[in-house]
Amino acid sequence: MTETQPTMAARLRGWWVPLGALAALEAYARSAGSGSDALAPPTAAALAFGQALSDGSLLQATAFTLGAAALGLLVAAVLGVSLGIALGLSPRAAQMSFLSVEVLRPVPAVALIPLSMLVFGFGLRMEFSIVAFASFWPLLILTQAAVRQVEPRLLEVSRVLGLSPAQRSIKIVLPAIVPRLFVALRLGVAISLVVAVTMEIAANPHGMGYAMMVAQQSLDPALMLAWLFWIGLVGYAVNAAALRLQRLVSRRMGVLE
């Protein structure tokens, strides 16, 4: 009982700042007047949130954004982790691909929107392709760096045992890089959600980002603020789920965090 009390107290203290900010925003918005086209009190945003939830638009837009982000992250994770392991195990391949990686990696994902629109048009395929491109590079770089830090003696043992490259990757490399790999995946989760919402704000007429833009163009600050808060909560929940999955997998594999 005594061990859980400090933890609960710390969690409650963590709410002071956001609750205080909401109270300050409520007071400021009400003092500025209820007819503002740019600002709404959080209580009005809560009512707009309830309306969006009741008419189904909230869940529909959220499902589209999360689906596009998850699909793009899945493609990026499969390609990035696989190629990262290959480049980490082969210095020659890493050297040969160095120039290509360094040229393509700095390209902003949003710069590919016109090309993606020409190839895929509007919709899910356009969005998840940009998300996959943006998430691929950090997964590749961090996985490659993690593989290079694997204990060399483990790789020597795998060669002595005559393991194939695939067996070496699955039985030796992957268990050794689990903590660093999940750091890369959590970074990829954050990037995928940010890029997905940015895509919807900039070009794709679907999802949470587009819904927030529609609220802004309709001069509905309460609904716009509701979407902004909801996007933040979704991001927090997704990151918390990724962290919980990391701890669960690490515990099952006997890896110390």
Q: What is the pLDDT of residues 82-102, one digit of tens each?
A: 999 888 888 888 888 888 888
Query: Higher pLDDT residue, 169 or 243?
Result: 243
Q: Which long-range contacts (CB under 8 A, 24 or more apart) does 46-52 make?
A: 46/226, 47/222, 48/220, 48/222, 48/223, 48/225, 48/226, 49/226, 49/229, 49/230, 51/223, 52/211, 52/223, 52/226, 52/227
Q: What is the pLDDT of residues 157-211, one digit of tens each?
A: 777 777 777 777 777 787 778 778 888 888 889 899 999 999 999 888 888 999 9
pLDDT in the model for residue 104: 87
> Cα separation of 256 and 32, whole Å?
53
| pTM listed for this prediction | 0.80
Please give the domain boundaries of the chain with CATH numbers for all domains. Answer: 47-252 (1.10.3720.10)
Range 111-134 average pLDDT: 88
pLDDT in the model for residue 165: 74
Give the Cβ contact number of residue 95 at 10 Å. Answer: 10
pLDDT in the model for residue 3: 46
Residue 114 pLDDT grade (very low, low, confident, very high; cuts 50, 70, 90): confident
DSSP 41: -
> Cα separation of 238 and 246, whole Å?
12
Q: What is the pLDDT of residues 174-187, one digit of tens each?
A: 777 877 888 888 88
Determine the longest span between alpha carbons in the chain, in angstroms. Answer: 76
CA 223 to chain centre: 24
With H, G, I as helix, E, B as strand and everything else as coil, classify residue 248. Answer: helix
At 140, which amino acid appears? Answer: L
> Cα separation of 171 and 156, whole Å?
13
Q: Are 208 and 200 in contact (CB under 8 A)?
A: yes
Range 3-22 average pLDDT: 65
> Cα separation of 201 and 30, whole Å?
28
